[in-house]
Amino acid sequence: MESYATVKGQIVIPSEIRKKYGIKAGTKIEIFDEGERIVLQPITREFIHRLRGKYKGQGLMKALAEEKQQERKL
Please, are residues 1 and 14 in contact by the beta-carbon 8 Å criterion? yes
How many of the other CB atoms lie within 10 Å of CB of 57? 6
Task: Dump strand ranges (E) for 2-70.
Answer: 28-33, 38-43
Domain ranges of the chain: 15-73
Q: Is the dihedral of CA 40, 43, 63, 50 positive or negative?
A: negative
pLDDT digits (tens, 9 = 90+) for 9-49: 999 999 999 999 889 898 889 899 989 999 998 887 776 66
Length of the chain: 74
The predicted pLDDT at position 56 comes to 67
